[in-house]
Structure formats: structure tokens, C-alpha cells
Amino acid sequence: MSERSSRFAPSPHPELAGNLSTGLLKLIALVSMFIDHAGKVIFGNAPDMRLLGRIAFPLYAWCMVVGFCRTRSVPKYLGRILQAGLVSQPLYYLALNTQGHLGLLIRETVSPLSVGFSFPALWEVLYTVFLKKPNIFLTLFLGLFALWGIREKKALSQIWCPAVAIALATVLNADYGWKGVTLLILLYAVRNTRPGIAAVMVSFFLFWGAGYELTRSLFGIPIDLTAVPAWLSAPLKAFMRLETYGLLSLPLILIRFPHDLHMPKWISYSLYPAHLVIILVLKLIIFG
């Protein structure tokens, strides 16, 4: 192996502690994300469907850590994520916009170009579609960039790469923002110990969920904690907030599956835009 190629080869790592069946985990995450997105767009922000969708991102984050430790070329990995994100972004913009009528949304989006072509008008359209609300691949791209810098330790990259990634996640309004990138970094830091993974997940999602309202019902069943003793109701309230339900992904991350689902990379990356196409079709059928 040449000196240039060896620079990008993964350095030796102890055995990863969590679930390595990333094919199945990604499929579970995709189903969870589809339920979440359908709940938001098709069913008027249905709370129970949004709750089930909370497990998707932590599963993707763990799969990213495993993929980073296994990959032979981080630049190629970054390239695949970037390509998938760019292809998915127009679909994401159209599918996840909660405006019901798709035709009206498209007309409003391209309206700056309706009076004639100009570069400022083109930039306004591109900004609206690609930069106003980026999809999850931007968060994964920035997280992977941060992990690469932490591992390589080139010119203090273990400091400035995570800092740049977190800053860009904030400035570019990445999905899950700086918290999403931080979760990838923390999971990478504790990747070799199950107690460490559990500690990071519990503390992180308790922190993340603290700013959300308490869940008042689950799947149609009202929840009343007033009759519960104070010593028990306080921790229950901490765990019963929207983003805290991301902890439902923890058993899937910790417990190894006996088998995995292996699929070509192009199929793996095409599943995300495919689920957006399904959302778009449902929007067309329901809302016109």
C-alpha cells in the first residue's frame, strides 16, 4: 500500500462493543423515519407517530460510527454521503414541507424565476430547496468529518474538525443541529464499552428532551402522574418527553443480532430518497 493510500486507511481499533448488524439497524431506522415523516406530513403531526420516529437518528448515528471504524476510505465514504444528500434534498424539500398542495408549493418555490432568469433569482430558488432546511445526510456528513479529524490528529485536527463541524451544523441549520453532530462524537468516544454507550445515550437524551413538553398520552391512553408519588413522578417526567424517547433505540444499539441484512451500497443509499418518493406520492393522492 502506498504512503498516500495508507493515510486514509482506518487505524486499528479494539472490538466495537455494540450491535454490528448495521444493515438491519438502518432498515429499522428507515421504517421509524418513514413513520415519523408520515405522521408529520400526512397525519397532521400525529404525536404517537412522531414519538416512534425518535429512534431513527440515534440508530443512524451508531451505524455511522461503525461504518467509520470499518471503512477503508473516509473520503469515499464522505463522497457517498454527500452524493446521497444532494440527490435526496429536492425530494426532502417537497415531501417534508407541510403545505398540503404540492403544485402550489412548487410554483411558490420557483416564483423568483417567473419574471425571467437572473442569478440572484436562481440563488434564491437553490437556497430555498437546498440550504434552508437540509436533510439528515448533512448532519451525518459533518459528524463523519469530525470523527475523521479526531482519529487522524493532523495539524490539531482532533480540535478544529469537531469545532468546525459543530459550528457548520448550527450555521447551516442541519437536521438535529449541533446536538446531532455531538451525539456522533460522543458515541465514537465510548464505542468500545457498552456501559459507556448506555451512559452517553441516557445522559444525552435526558438533556435533549428537557426542553420539550411532557407527554400527556401514549397511543390514545391518557397519562396522569399526579397520583404517582413525587419520588417516582420526577424521574418519569424526565423520561417522558418527545426527544427522550430516542432512548428506545438503546437496546437495539447494545444487543447484537445473530444475523445481518447485507445489500449493495447503492440500494442502501437509495432507500432514503425512496421513502421520500412514497411520502410525495401519498401527498399527491391525499392533498392533490
Instruction: Report the Cα 3 to chain-centroid distance in Å.
Output: 34
- Tell me the mean pLDDT in the region 39-51: 91
Claim: this prediction has a pTM higher than 0.75: yes
Strands (E), the chain: 217-218, 221-222
Convert the pLDDT of each residue in 197-208 to its tens digit: 999 999 999 999
Predicted confidence at residue 7, as pLDDT, reads 43
Convert the pLDDT of each residue in 229-270 to its tens digit: 888 888 888 899 989 999 999 999 999 999 999 888 888 899
* Bridge partners, residue 217, by sequence: 222
- Tell me the mean pLDDT in the region 159-169: 97
Alpha carbon distance 276, 41 (integer Å): 11
Predicted confidence at residue 216, as pLDDT, reads 84
C-alpha cell at 127: 437556497
- Tell me the mean pLDDT in the region 138-145: 98
**221-222 vs 217-218, strand pairing mode:** antiparallel
- For the chain, give every domain's residue range: 3-287
Alpha carbon distance 89, 86 (integer Å): 5
Alpha carbon distance 217, 13 (integer Å): 44
Alpha carbon distance 85, 60 (integer Å): 14
